Structure 1
Amino acid sequence: MEKLQSAEQFTNLANAEDVIFMFTAGWCPDCRVIEPIMPEIEKKFSDYRFISVDRDEFIDLCIEKDIYGIPSFIGFRDGEEQGRFVSRDRKTQGEIESFISNLWK
């Protein structure tokens, strides 16, 4: 999964592509649990670009986007947020896939 390099890149990607941002942190145990399943999810949903956003590196962006729990996901299309899966709960592969499947229906 690609890593976000700048807040400007976040805006550019959100405005130009079907993109799913995954907010995470190196110290987050729930993030580590889903890390091994993300390549399979990315392959299954290859129409979308997946970008990892480090919560600690982009704390201002997280505050702006109301991301207070990780791991969390936000999907964008044409600059508009299409959906979010934001909570402090551990997420399963099925829950993540269901969220993505229902983004652009």
Structure 2
Amino acid sequence: MKNITSVENFKEMINAPTIAMFTAGWCPDCHFIKPALPEIEAAHPDYQFVSIDRDELMDLAVEYDVMGIPSFVAFKEGQEIGRFVSKDRKTKEEINAFIDAL
């Protein structure tokens, strides 16, 4: 998973099919799902996966209306095509089902 360090970098990346995970270093649910991310990425080779630290790129989180984390937002050709946000801890199976449904 590539770490996004600038808004410009993010805008370039989302022209290709992309799953963006908005996260933060202090987020326990983000740390919970982190070990499963390589398997999730391997199961979906048609997408590139990027990670955005919401606290470091707050403007990006605000622009895409991301309040809760972790949030998974899917993009294609620069447009949002799906979003998986819930107040509950996310599982590998739920994230895979979200991506499969896109």
Whole-angstrom CA distance in 2 between matches of 1:13 and 1:88: 27
Q: CA deviation at 1:7?
A: 0.2
Whole-angstrom CA distance in 1 between matches of 2:86 and 2:61: 13
1:2 aligns to what? Answer: 2
Superposed CA RMSD: 0.9
4+ runs deviating over 4 angstroms:
none
2:101 aligns to what? Answer: 102
Whole-angstrom CA distance in 1 between matches of 2:90 and 2:17: 22
TM-score normalised according to structure 2 size: 0.96
Unmatched runs of 5 consecutive residues or more in structure 2:
none
Percent identity of paired positions between Structure 1 and Structure 2 = 55
Deviations 1:37-81 (A, max 9, x none): 000000111111000000110111101101000000111111111
Amino acid aligned to 2:12: N
Contact 1:71 1:88 in 2 (8 A): no
2:12 aligns to what? Answer: 12
Q: How many residues align?
A: 102
Amino acid aligned to 2:71: S
Whole-angstrom CA distance in 1 between matches of 2:88 and 2:45: 25
TM-score normalised according to structure 1 size: 0.93
Whole-angstrom CA distance in 1 between matches of 2:57 and 2:89: 21
